[in-house]
Amino acid sequence: MKLDKKEILKALESITVAGEGKNMVESGAIANVVVFGDEVVIELVLHVPAMHIRKRAEDDIKKTILEKVFPDAKIKINVKIEAPEKAEIKGKSIPGIKNIIAVASGKGGVGKSTVTANLAVTLTKMGFSVGVLDADIYGPSMPIMFDVESEKPLSVTVDGKSKMKPVESYGVKILSIGFFTSPSQAVVWRGPMASKALNQMIFDADWGELDFMLLDLPPGTGDIHLSIVQALPITGAVVVSTPQAVALADAKKGVSMFMSEAINVPVLGIIENMAYFTPEELPNNKYYIFGKEGAKDLSEDLQVPFLGEVPIVQSIREAGDCGRPAAMQTGSVIETVFEEITRNVVREVIDRNENLPATEAVKITTMAGCAAVKK
């Protein structure tokens, strides 16, 4: 059998490269197809040097040709990596959303979702309009932390289109995959399915006017992170870590991911969670259970801001479990801690956002009670 180039290209239109959104032919990833009888040579151009993305693309091409074109085809794939010297975020803006902050962690279990929830309510108390997108597809936490597990987003019509209306709790607008699955149901999806679900929650939702959208990313570095940063114009990223060495090693990778040429997202800083333990009966004592100032030292090594430290306090866990973020407790130590961290985050947003109008910078600074105004 003689292979047909047009038939091969048509078959390859069914494949997408992770994080790009368009099919291989449309995106230009298939630079050339050369056919010699039952042999085919594919020239593949990728813009992300990640090995797992390259391998998946090669496997998808071979599988598609063998299944849809000719089962005995001899396939050779030549891969060329063309990472731009300075990558630009490809994401399109969402009307009405001024700043998008990704909250990430290299390692799971360091309290990233807890930090996200408390940052959100603190921003709201400062007078900002805030939304949270729970992008942790495989372990959504926001419905529990905001006591809205039983809620479901409503459908509303906006400009003739049907959109999801985020669930609102404590003044924060929230969307999570947890609203669409039962608490006992595991989400067993491959990367493309997870990315599609996230895109729907981002672009098919009526978020309204927001000063800040916080993205609670899954731990690690992978497909979802790549899809998010390519789908949205991220203002900056906040990395959460505990002081222990094993967590810091992964946090370093998280910072490196955002600073890489392929991602190129500003790192607003590092937050150290579970920094120390203070017993209620001994308020002046600090016990550094997981090590002392590890995240602070890491921030100095990586030359990124240190945004603050959150102590181990029982009320944080209790508040999260009962669905009322601890930073809402007026007069508490945690309220003070998160107010300082949130002010630091806002300062970094102002300092790094060169396109922010001066009037908007003054407004944000005033609302947050910051000391410095962007010149």
Amino acid residing at 273? N
Looking at the structure, tell me whether residues 103 and 74 fall in a common domain. no
**Binding-site sequence positions:** 106-113
| Residue 232 lies inside a defined structural domain of this protein | yes
The whole domain housing 135 covers 97-368
Residue 300 is predicted with a pLDDT of 86
Looking at the structure, tell me whether residues 238 and 296 fall in a common domain. yes
| Residue 76 lies inside a defined structural domain of this protein | yes
Cβ of 112: how many Cβ atoms within 10 Å? 27
Residue 89 is predicted with a pLDDT of 42
Looking at the structure, tell me whether residues 213 and 288 fall in a common domain. yes
CATH number at residue 53: 3.30.300.130
HEC states along 308-331?
EEEEECHHHHHHHHHCCCHHHCCC
Residue 352 is predicted with a pLDDT of 73
Instruction: For 261, list phi and psi in degrees, rounded to 5.
Output: -65, -30
Looking at the structure, tell me whether residues 116 and 178 fall in a common domain. yes
CATH number at residue 326: 3.40.50.300
Looking at the structure, tell me whether residues 118 and 37 fall in a common domain. no
Looking at the structure, tell me whether residues 131 and 279 fall in a common domain. yes
| Residue 102 lies inside a defined structural domain of this protein | yes
| Residue 202 lies inside a defined structural domain of this protein | yes
| Residue 89 lies inside a defined structural domain of this protein | no
- The partner residues of 44 in beta bridges, in order of sequence, read 30, 79
| Residue 374 lies inside a defined structural domain of this protein | no
Looking at the structure, tell me whether residues 152 and 51 fall in a common domain. no
Token digits of residue 232? 């949205």
Under 8 Å CB-to-CB from 7, ≥6 apart: which residues? Answer: 69
- CA dihedral in degrees (133, 363, 357, 238; nearest 10)? -40
**Binding-site sequence positions for ATP:** 106-113
| Residue 375 lies inside a defined structural domain of this protein | no
Q: What is the pTM of this model?
A: 0.69
Looking at the structure, tell me whether residues 304 and 352 fall in a common domain. yes
Amino acid residing at 276? Y
Listed residues 21, 49, 81: the one ending a domain: 81
Instruction: For 142, list phi and psi in degrees, rounded to 5.
Output: -60, -40
Mean pLDDT, the chain cut into blocks of 10 residues (375 residues total) = 84 78 83 89 80 82 91 90 52 80 83 92 94 83 89 85 90 88 60 68 87 86 66 87 82 80 83 86 83 84 89 83 86 90 92 62 63 42
Do you know the residue count of the chain?
375
- Burial string for 22-47 (b: 16+ CB within 10 Å, else e) reads eebbeeebbeebebeeeebebebbbb
Looking at the structure, tell me whether residues 22 and 145 fall in a common domain. no
End-to-end CA distance of the chain: 69
Contact status, residue 369 vs residue 126, Cβ threshold 8 Å:
yes
Listed residues 34, 54, 81: the one ending a domain: 81
| Residue 88 lies inside a defined structural domain of this protein | no
Specify the number of domains making up the chain.
2
Residue 350 is predicted with a pLDDT of 86
Token digits of residue 313? 């306090």
Looking at the structure, tell me whether residues 192 and 45 fall in a common domain. no
Token digits of residue 18? 């992770």
Residue 87 is predicted with a pLDDT of 41
Looking at the structure, tell me whether residues 129 and 241 fall in a common domain. yes
The conformation of residue 218, written as its DSSP 8-state character, comes to: P
Looking at the structure, tell me whether residues 205 and 232 fall in a common domain. yes
Residue 318 is predicted with a pLDDT of 82
Amino acid residing at 136? D
